[in-house]
Amino acid sequence: MFTEEQVPELLAQLTLEEKCSLLSGSDFWHTQPIERLEIPALMVSDGPHGLRKQAEGADDMGLEESVPATCFPTAAALASTWDAALLGEVGRALAEEAKTQGVGVILGPGVNLKRSPLCGRNFEYFSEDPFLAGELAAALVSGIESEGVGTSLKHFAANNQETDRMRINARIDERTLREMYLSIFERIIEKARPATLMCSYNRINNTYSSENHWLLTEVLRDEWGFDGLVMTDWGAVHDRAAGVAAGLDLEMPSSRGWNDQLVAEAVRVGALAESDLDRVVTRVLQLVARYHREMQQTSADSFDPDAHHELACRVATRSAVLLKNEDTALPLLELDDVVVIGEMARTPRYQGAGSSQVNPTRLDSALNVLRRRYPGSPFEPGYPLPGSPVADSPAEHLLRKAQSAASCRTVLLFLGLPAEDESEGYDRQHISLPANHVALLHAVRRTADTVIVLLSNGAAVETASWEADADAILELWLGGQGCSEAVARLVTGEESPSGRLAETIPVKLEQHPSQLNFPGEAGEVRYGEGIFVGYRGLQQLGNQPSYPFGHGLTYTTFEFSDLQAELATITDGMSPGDTVLTTRFAVTNTGDRSGVAVPQLYLGYPDSTVVRPLRELRGFRRVELEPGETTDVEVQVSRRELSFWDVHTHSWRMEPGRLRIEIGVSVEDIKLCIEKELSAPPLLPPLTEWSTVTEWKRRPAAWEKLRPFLASFGKESEFFLLDLPVCKLPLMFEDTLTFDQLAELLVEVGTTPYPTSTL
Ligand code: BGC
């Protein structure tokens, strides 16, 4: 086996054909081995929340048979923990299982922004907020990589829908792309250095990600300093030689030698430089050297399935979000008057479909887990569910039996989305629960004392049309193999809910900013809402959601006080990572149970010259407090977090003015607020002949020179002048200044000479 240092030596011994053979997989899950030079095959495998290693002899796709692995909650649930340390633990556990199976690189996590609640893969993605998604996914990646297993951050980039995912052209403006869609990847690369990235199927502004030089080389490597490998999503290659030149390293899975030959031919005829090929082959060999070596050292490792199951239960417990809890319906003090209703209590919905589907090491139903605590709990399925014992039973009959069982009791009502409602490969058409689930809720409400709804779904479902019938709602997401144990721990109060929403639950789909442009048409989707994704857009439009981003109740109450903020003076010499804002505040548990507060730091810029959201998440903490306990919390913010992407200079910029600093328990529920004056160099776009009079006014030296020419305009006509590009003055008002005077002026103040051709 060779080392990373030996890669140049090895490269020199490879023939052109051998080099090209390394550019694609040998099958679905391995890189190409070369026996002559003892280059082994490296195994990669899906597994963003549990390993999906294809079992020996299983079908090519490996969708049906994979080796048993711990099924952790899916990313939507992981993100609801707001708990980076816990995600690090999950990452280490995933890596242990990968090592046991000889897998060198885990294909995940998926970190695409939840642009629309309809995206079929939202259950596999973290959040509608790039800061939260980036922070949490970085912790997961660090956890995996810390154990010597590689990750593949996916899908780079703008894979925010399943509709036409292999061809769709995502039209996104520069600022939106940088601030919302690329920044997640950038943050994770900086914080966690993933071994690989997986490029997306789609096109971005006309160019397929797999051959996008700007994306894969200029941004990813030149700007962000990524030194790992880029592989394709499965089958995402269009023009392989163009991909090599653009910075795409590995094609997956095998294209049966076809594309390798095309690359060899391109080199032979001089259409592709051999140095481009060598650069790509070097990266493939480095990956094999690094991660295959790790596998050899640790292949004897095994993992403890019980410990991993317990971790899965702990994470599922922390993922659940208590949306509503009228009259302290939860926790249940007694279990003896409880009836369990809903087939999902017996047939759990705990993971999504597609490439992330795991074969769990064990799986229990909430019904069984509850009955272990209280053996007598009665149960009624209430609705048919495909694949369940009552799949073919008449719905009306099930509903009536459930209604009568609910009479004068506390009902634990399990509702959610059936598996076929959300999956990789297609988007959702609506965000409603199935009609028979809602009908069951209404029926049960008529007879029951208390109704506690437990939801299992991978992405937001609307609650507005039915929630009046629920005393409490606990959103479990797709909680993995520990989801049933989590239910028991939470409803009995053994543990308190601590999850917070990482995505908005809108009143209805039509409130959502992406709705005008999703999923596009004629092969193209326009990201028309720009930076106003998720809560940013809802707030801008004045749309109150049912449950806002960041929301989550628990069994105690908190008070927040004493917000202080120190703001550094910003200078041009500061680097993006320098801390510029330090906030401190106190949190007190004012209830009589221990619990977890998740204070969230939001920033806003009332004086901004560019459009900015009302508030954006820029920090959060997870604080565990005993009853009566107070703690001080500090959150620091770097220069980069205060910046926006400036399209004039194509860089991250800040500007002076008021900074609104808020501490909230959700984006709609702000508990503390102060404003500070941010002192920073003014943000001035370069002066050109097309700069307006206002823009000249912002530069005192230039304005002093222009002002005399405008003396003939009175105050009353100033409004007209302000927005006028100066090059229009000689044209429209000959007696102000002549073309020659303007040309001189432009030279004097340091703009480019006046090109008459632009008129
Ligand atoms: C998915 C990827 C996955 C790959 C391999 C693709 O269809 O988009 O997320 O890693 O298949 O299973």
Which residues in 254-282 are b (16+ Cβ under 10 Å) and which e? bbeeebbebbbebbeeeebeeebbbebbb
Name the residue at shortest CA distance from atom 4 of ligand 1.
234
Helix (H, G, I), strand (E, B) or coil at 702: helix
Q: Is 703 in the pocket of ligand 1 (CB under 6 A)?
A: no
Residues forming a β-bridge with 243: none
Q: Kindly report the number of other CB atoms within 10 A of residue 407's CB atom.
A: 13
Q: How far apart are CA 242 and CA 211, in angstroms?
A: 6
Query: Residue 254's closest CA among 31, 105, 45?
Result: 31
CA of 751 to the centre of ligand 1 (A): 51
The answer to whether residues 130 and 82 touch, using CB atoms and an 8 Å cutoff, is no
Is 107 close to ligand 1, i.e. is its CB under 6 Å away?
yes
Ligand 1 within 6 A of CB of 28: no
Question: What is the per-residue pLDDT across 379-404, written as a single tens digit (0 to 9) for each?
Answer: 999 999 999 999 999 999 999 999 99
Q: What is the mean pLDDT of residues 532-560?
A: 98
- Average pLDDT of span 158-166: 97
* 185-211 tens-digit pLDDT: 999 999 999 999 999 999 999 999 999
Closest to 346 measured CA to CA, from 386, 389, 311, 316 = 389
Please pick, among 46, 164, 233, 364, the residue that the annotation labels catalytic.
233
CA of 690 to the centre of ligand 1 (A): 48
For residue 250, what are the β-bridge partners? 231
Q: What is the largest CA-CA distance in the chain?
A: 95
Buried b (16+ CB within 10 A) or exposed e, 621-633: bbbebeeeeeeeb
* Cβ pair 177, 204 in contact under 8 A: yes
Distance, CA 65 to ligand 1 centroid (Å)? 16
From the CA of 152, give the closest atom in ligand 1: 10
Ligand 1: atom nearest CA of 107 is: 10
pLDDT at 61 over 80: no
Is the pLDDT at 58 greater than 90? The verdict is no
Global confidence as pTM: 0.95
Q: How sure is the predictor about 64, in pLDDT bands with cuts at 50, 70 and 90?
A: low
The pLDDT score that the predictor gives to residue 301 is: 65
3-state secondary structure labels for all residues of 262-329:
HHHHHHHCCCCCHHHHHHHHHHHHHHHHHHHHHHHHHCCCCCCHHHHHHHHHHHHHHHCEEEEEHHHC
In the numeric block, which tokens belong to residue 420?
């076929």
From ligand 1's centre to the CA of 385, what distance in Å? 28
Ligand 1: which of 59, 200, 424 to mutate, judged by most atoms within 8 Å of the beta carbon? Answer: 424
Give the model's confidence band at 294: pLDDT under 50 very low, under 70 low, under 90 confident, else very high.
Answer: low
Would the pLDDT of 712 be above 90? no
Q: Which of 107, 162, 163 to mutate to test the pocket of ligand 1 (most atoms within 8 A of CB)?
A: 107
Q: Is the pLDDT of residue 755 over 80?
A: no
Any ligand 1 atom below 6 A from CB of 355: yes
The one-letter code for the residue type at 551 is H
Q: Ligand 1, atom 12: nearest CA belongs to which residue?
A: 355
Residue 154 beta carbon below 6 angstroms from any ligand 1 atom: yes
Q: What is the Å distance from ligand 1's center to 108 Cα?
A: 9
Which ligand 1 atom is nearest residue 52's CA? 12
- Which of 210, 355, 423, 424, when mutated, tests ligand 1's pocket best, judged by the most ligand atoms within 8 Å of its CB? 355
Counting ligand 1 atoms within 8 A of each CB, the residue from 29, 46, 160 with the most, and so the one to mutate, is: 46
Q: Is 546 in the pocket of ligand 1 (CB under 6 A)?
A: no
Span 551-603, pLDDT tens digits: 999 999 999 999 999 999 998 889 999 999 999 999 999 999 999 999 999 99
404 dihedral zone (left: phi>0; alpha: psi -120 to 50; beta): alpha
CA distance 579 to 139: 20
Q: Has residue 502 got a pLDDT over 70?
A: yes
| Antiparallel, parallel or unpaired: β 44-46 and 105-107 | parallel
Backbone angles phi, psi at 509, to 5 degrees: -55, -35
3-state secondary structure 75-136: HHHHHCCCCHHHHHHHHHHHHHHHHHCCCCEEECCECCCCCCCCCCCHHHCCCCCHHHHHHH
Q: Which long-range contacts (CB under 8 A, 24 or more apart) does 278-283 make?
A: 278/11, 278/19, 280/23, 280/244, 280/248, 280/249, 281/11, 281/14, 281/19, 281/22, 281/23, 282/7, 282/8, 282/11, 283/228, 283/229, 283/249, 283/250
Residues in the chain: 759
Whether ligand 1 lies within 6 angstroms of the CB of 165 is answered as no
At 296, the pLDDT band (50, 70, 90 cuts) reads low
Report the range of poorest mean pLDDT among 223-227, 636-640, 742-746: 742-746
Rounded Cα distance, 587 and 597, in Å: 8
Q: How far is the CA of 7 from the centre of ligand 1 (A)?
A: 29
Quickly state the pLDDT bin for 522 (edges 50, 70, 90).
very high
Q: How confident is the model at residue 715 (pLDDT cuts 50, 70, 90)?
A: confident
471 lines ligand 1 (CB under 6 A): no
Residue 124 Cβ contacting ligand 1 at under 6 Å: no
Q: Could you tell me how many helices (H) and strands (E) the chain has, helices first?
A: 22, 28
Atom of ligand 1 nearest to the CA of 154: 9
Q: How far is the CA of 368 from the centre of ligand 1 (A)?
A: 34
Q: Give the separation between CA 498 and CA 48, rounded to whole angstroms.
A: 23
638-690: pLDDT as tens digits = 999 999 999 988 999 999 999 999 999 999 999 999 999 999 988 887 888 89
Q: What is the whole-number distance in angstroms between the Cα of residue 234 and the centre of ligand 1?
A: 6
Among 56, 7, 4, which residue's Cα sits nearest to residue 27? 56
Residues 516, 568: Cα–Cα separation, whole Å: 41
- pLDDT, residue 757, reads 42
Q: Establish whether 46 is a catalytic residue.
A: no
**Three-state SS for 196?**
strand
**Cα–Cα distance between 262 and 71 in angstroms, integer?**
40
Estimate to the nearest angstrom the gap between the alpha carbon of 596 and the chain centroid: 23
Contact 647, 624 (CB under 8 A): no
Please report, in angstroms and rounded to a whole number, the separation of the first and last CA atoms in the chain. 67
Please give the number of the atom of ligand 1 that sits closest to the Cα of 155. Answer: 9
Instruction: With beta carbons less than 8 A apart as the criterion, state whether 583 and 607 touch.
Output: no
Q: Which residue's CA is the nearest one to ligand 1's atom 6?
A: 234
Mean predicted lDDT score pLDDT of the chain:
94
